[in-house]
Amino acid sequence: MPIIAVSMLGASAFDVGVINALGLSAFLVLGVPIGVWVDRMRKRRIMIAADLCRAAVIASLPAVYLFGALTIWHLFLAVAVISVADVFFTTAHSTFLPLIVRRNDLSEANARLQSAQTAVTVATPALSGALLRIAAAPLALFTASVSYTLSAVLIGRIKHVEFVPPTEGRPAPIIAAKEGISFTVRHPILRPLFLSGMIINTAAMFGNAASAVYALTVLGISPGVYAAVGAVSALGGLSGSVVAVPILRRFGIGRTKIVTSLAALPVISLLPLAGVLPYPPVIWVGVSGFGWASLIVMTSIAGSGITPRVTPARMLGSVTASSRLFVLGIMPVASLIGGAIAAWAGVVPVLWAWAAIAAVSALPIIFSPIRRWKNFPEELDVNMPD
């Protein structure tokens, strides 16, 4: 989307910022109400409808481009609609997975999904680059439309009889939304989980605000080489998804989450130290990016099976959306703060802040019952046993 906006429509930096903001807007504005709605509907149908909606919206861009009618406002509208569909899909997906996977297998299932997602992340830039060399940017989006359509087809082939609880006796949507937020904030297990996630995302946004500027301007790494380093970071995420389950089995949930958070401090510190360490700086940038991506994925997988087991099934959608409201809501704020600090004090202090904040994400887990968990305590499972 940003490539189309800049290269085809002459968009400014502000326009690109609007596109990025619209991409997250629905999670912040509509996440909780959509979560309540998802709790009352069939999840598979929601995912299929969201896929088809995104396919149609994406296809509209190359279609109007062929008629010479593509505008920045069409792009804004497309991103906003896709953002809403994203919320429906991801919320339904997170509540559908526990219905088709045994609860003891949720961490491994999430690890496998993460492996597939990361593999696509590694391959997509090469495919996109090849498409952009032979077709205009809007026309390359046909592949995304086809991908969403294939996703809908594959989800439709899942053989599962989904039971939707009756709506009689349920609280009004606004009351259900408040209950979801209150349950998330007050729960002794969910609260440290989303607080740790908020801190990690704050750290990540600080890193986004400074790492590219530092690598390109301070270290003098060329854009092409830096892009290749980005692929190395994606491979780190793939590596993390592969080793997460064996590590969880060996060290347990609590220790894995704490150690992966604390390990971020030395891993990220390689970045501001890259200019003074032996060997070319690009090596340390790559090692740091690989390690950070791997740690992020491992800590995410370590906590992935907890929410569905401590949350009553009837409100899993609203609770999941409430957690995302906090975890994602901090991201634009942290990005602005990180950018402001970088402009005032330079990028190196922001990099050190990134490392320190990432390590602090261990504290909510350390001061919670999760720190003692080897496996999930079966007595905390509020839903019926398998």
Domains: count for the chain: 2
Distance CA 88, CA 4 (A): 25
| pLDDT average, residue stretch 305-313 | 84
Based on the domain organization, do 233 and 140 belong to the same domain?
A: no
In a domain, 380, yes or no: no
Question: Do 78 and 190 have their domain in common?
Answer: no
pLDDT, greater one: 13 or 42: 42
User: Residues 142, 59: contact at Cβ < 8 Å?
Assistant: yes
Let me know whether 198 and 270 are in one domain: yes
pLDDT beyond 80 at 260: yes
Q: Could you list the residue range(s) of the whole structural domain that residue 88 is in?
A: 2-159
Query: Do 214 and 363 share a domain, yes or no?
Result: yes
Boundary-marking domain end, from 159, 189, 222: 159
Phi, psi of 275 (to 5 degrees): -75, -20
Res. 303 pLDDT band, cuts 50 70 90? confident
Q: In terms of domains, do 201 and 153 share one?
A: no
Residue at a domain's end among 99, 126, 159: 159
Please state the length of the chain: 386
Residues 49 and 45: their CA atoms lie apart, in Å, by 6
- Does any domain span residue 382? no
Q: Output the pTM of the full model.
A: 0.75
Please indicate, yes or no, whether residues 233 and 333 belong to a single structural domain of this protein. yes
More reliable by pLDDT, 11 or 297: 297
Note the pLDDT of residue 137. 61
Same domain as 141, residue 270: no
C-alpha distances in Å from residue 353, one per residue of 43, 293, 366 = 40, 17, 20
Classify residue 75: in a domain, yes or no.
yes
Task: Check whether 199 has a pLDDT greater than 90.
Answer: yes
- Above 80 in pLDDT, residue 172? no
Angle at 292 between CA 286 and CA 296, to 5 degrees: 150
Same domain, 133 and 271: no
Local confidence band at 131 (pLDDT 50, 70, 90 cut-offs): low
Residue whose pair of structure tokens reads 């087991």 in the numeric block: 309
pLDDT at 43: 87
Are residues 189 and 47 located together in one domain of the fold?
Answer: no
Instruction: Please report whether residue 315 resides in a domain.
Output: yes
- Check whether 384 has a pLDDT greater than 60: no
